[in-house]
Amino acid sequence: DTAVSQTPKYLVTQMGNDKSIKCEQNLGHDTMYWYKQDSKKFLKIMFSYNNKELIINETVPNRFSPKSPDKAHLNLHINSLELGDSAVYFCASSQDEKGENSYEQYFGPGTRLTVT
């Protein structure tokens, strides 16, 4: 009965490879997010989708491409991986509606990406 799940939990890969991280939520939420947590624990939003539509797109290299096949899934594809992409990536979801800011976001367990 996991609310927000991510796969894989750990991902070790070499520079230049392409990889994907998958996220699924079974909470019936309309909005999903990707966050990056760096080695100093700093968390920053990358993308947000509402009903499969991109609504937040921070200054992220275009090697990162989110894909939302339906509102329960938000996958993150990363091309040409670089050392600096090593981080923990968190998926989250919320029951957001436009103009409402009181809905908390539910986070997945994270995916630790290590680029060597």
Partner 1 sequence: AQSVTQLDSHVSVSEGTPVLLRCNYSSSYSPSLFWYVQHPNKGLQLLLKYTSAATLVKGINGFEAEFKKSETSFHLTKPSAHMSDAAEYFCVVSDLPFSGGYNKLIFGAGTRLAVHP
Residues that bind partner 1 (CB under 8 A): 4, 31, 40-45, 48, 50, 55-56, 90, 92, 94, 96, 98-110
With contact defined as beta carbons under 8 Å apart, do 77 and 23 qualify? no
Kindly tell me which of 1 and 104 has the beta carbon lying closer to partner 1. Answer: 104
Q: How far is the CB of 33 from partner 1 (least distance, A)?
A: 8
Q: How far is the CB of 58 from partner 1 (least distance, A)?
A: 9
CB 35 within 8 A of CB 87: no
Rank residues 48 and 75 by Cβ distance to partner 1 and give the closer one.
48
Identify which of residues 75 and 105 has a Cβ nearer to partner 1 in the complex: 105
Q: Which of 56, 40, 48, 44 is nearest to 92 (CA)?
A: 48
CB of 16 to partner 1, least distance (A): 28
Whole-number minimum distance, CB 96 to partner 1, in Å?
5
What are phi and psi for residue 52, nearest 5 degrees? Answer: 70, 5
Q: How many other C-beta atoms are found inside a 10 Å radius of the C-beta of residue 29?
A: 20
CA dihedral 53, 55, 60, 61 (to 10 degrees): 40
Nearer to partner 1, 14 or 104 (CB): 104
